[in-house]
Amino acid sequence: MEQGIVVWFTGIPASGKSSIATDVQRRLEAMGLPVENLDADEVRANLSPNLGYTEEARNENTKRLAWFASKLSGYGAHVMIAAVAPMARYRDRAREWCENFVEVYVETPLEVCQQRDPKGLYARAARGEVNDIAGMHQPYEAPATPEVHVQTADRSIEECTGAVMAKLVEMGYLPAAAQEAAE
């Protein structure tokens, strides 16, 4: 059985991580590949609803995501993970545990994320209801050397997805014809 890929999308909330991960998932599925999308919010809600957003809770959530991804990819699934994972050590652990690991830094200015605010997180922060947003109230360590770096403020989701697919081809995880076939 061939080892799957683990693609970890990191960036501050509302940067576009989930949108790009879902589009990459769609393209890989169109190629007939097994794909699992582990959105951090969904995993947290379904497996760890009592975890908060403290340093310890974020560490535990990203640890669970990395472990689960390593298991799924070991069975040949290509795993998309959309998770802030604000500390570099969280992502480094995932890289260590997952054989074919690709880090995608989804960089978006805080102001753009605040305007998007699809989950109302920044609006809640403005009302004083939350004060634990990575990149705003809590630290966010941007990746120093991600395999892919996309900026969603001036690029479409499709362009960002294309950059991820191109890197997967370049790294030998997908055949060269894969990118054209999936578009």
The residue ranking higher by pLDDT, 155 or 40, is 155
Q: What is the pLDDT of residue 54?
A: 78
pTM, 2 dp: 0.92
Q: Which domains does the chain have, with CATH numbers?
A: 6-175 (3.40.50.300)
CA distances from 13 to 58, 97, 140 (A): 14, 25, 10
Cβ–Cβ under 8 Å, residues 30 and 104? no
Among 23-27, 40-44, 88-92, 93-97, the least confident range: 40-44
Residue 154 sits at the vertex; the CA angle it makes with 42 and 120, to the nearest 5 degrees, is: 35
The residue ranking higher by pLDDT, 1 or 154, is 154
Q: What is the pLDDT of residue 1?
A: 60
User: Confidence band (pLDDT; 50, 70, 90) for 183?
Assistant: low
